[in-house]
Amino acid sequence: MRRCVKCKGEAAVHLKSKNASFCGEHFVEHFLNQVERAIKKFKMLSPGERVLVAVSGGKDSLALWDALLSLGYEAEGVHVDLGLGDYSAGSREACQEFARRRGAKLYLFSVVETYGVSMREITARNRRATCSVCGTVKRYLMNRLVQETGHRVVATGHNLDDEAAALFGNLLGWQEGYLARQYPYLPPSHPGFPARIKPLVRLSEFETRTYCQLRGLGYLGDGCPLAKGASSLFYKELLNSLEERMPGSKLRFLFGFLEEGRSRFADVPVELKECEICGQPTTASTCLFCRLMQRAGLDPLTRPQVRQVV
Which residues would be at the binding site for Zn ion (CB under 5 A)? 4, 6-7, 9, 23, 26, 275, 277-278, 280, 287, 290
Q: Does 56 bind ligand AMP (CB under 6 A)?
A: yes
Q: Does 199 bind ligand AMP (CB under 6 A)?
A: no
* Smaller CB separation from Zn ion, 126 or 182: 126
Q: Does 83 bind ligand AMP (CB under 6 A)?
A: no
Distance CA(190)–CA(163), nearest Å, equals 24
* Smaller CB separation from ligand AMP, 56 or 282: 56
Alpha helices in 125-221 (DSSP H): 130-149, 160-172, 176-181, 205-215
Which one of ligand AMP, Zn ion, none is in contact with 61 (Cβ closer than 5 to 8 A by kind)?
A: ligand AMP
Angle between helices 205-215 and 59-70 (to 10 degrees): 60
Rule CB under 6 A: choose which of 4, 137, 157, 298 binds ligand AMP.
Answer: 157
Which one of ligand AMP, Zn ion, none is in contact with 277 (Cβ closer than 5 to 8 A by kind)?
A: Zn ion
Minimum Å gap between C-beta 222 and ligand AMP is: 11
Distance CA(63)–CA(180), nearest Å, equals 28
Where do the DSSP E strands lie in the chain? Answer: 13-15, 20-22, 50-54, 74-81, 106-110, 153-155, 185-186, 195-197, 273-274, 281-282, 306-308
Q: Does 55 bind ligand AMP (CB under 6 A)?
A: yes
216-235: contacts with ligand AMP (CB under 6 A): 224
Q: Does 54 bind ligand AMP (CB under 6 A)?
A: yes
Residue, CB closest to ligand AMP: 157
Q: Is 260 exposed, middle or buried (0-12, 13-18, 19+ CB in 10 A)?
A: exposed
Distance CA(22)–CA(126), nearest Å, equals 47
Which one of Zn ion, ligand AMP, none is in contact with 62 (Cβ closer than 5 to 8 A by kind)?
A: none
Distance CA(48)–CA(73), nearest Å, equals 4
What is the full DSSP assignment across 238-256? HHHHHHHHSTTHHHHHHHH
Minimum Å gap between C-beta 224 and ligand AMP is: 5
Residues lying near ligand AMP in the complex (CB under 6 A) are found at 54-56, 60-61, 79-80, 82, 138, 156-158, 162, 224
